[in-house]
Amino acid sequence: MTTAQAATTPAAPAFDRIEELEPGRRAVAVRNVPQTLPVFDHHFPRFPILPGVLLLESMTALARAAAGSGRTWRLKSVRGVRFKHFVGPGDQVRITAEVTGSTPQTTEVRATARVGDRVVATARTLTLVSADEPWEGTA
């Protein structure tokens, strides 16, 4: 895939639907993993696996929704990420994000991804910072 193709290829949504949302407290969403995702063409074609970074992206997007408060959040740091099992085509991933702490400028969220009853990934802490704040090291 060329750079031009990658720039024009639409990104897959972070999740398909939000099932529960309590802004400032928690959120639950579902992401269906279809066989037609372009990433499966080159990410182990004989044994297609959803890349962990895409699963982490879904967890982060849900963390932003759980943070709520009508502001825009960006990911500042990630701690304690564990990928425990493969996620492949046909799986339905249920993601839970729980706010564990917040200040006016930051929110910390714990996230878990499951396929059925099996935990496939966890993030102990996703730290979100208000997009209104300047980037660290910039004025």
- Catalytic residue list: 43
CA distance 21 to 44: 35
Length of the chain: 139
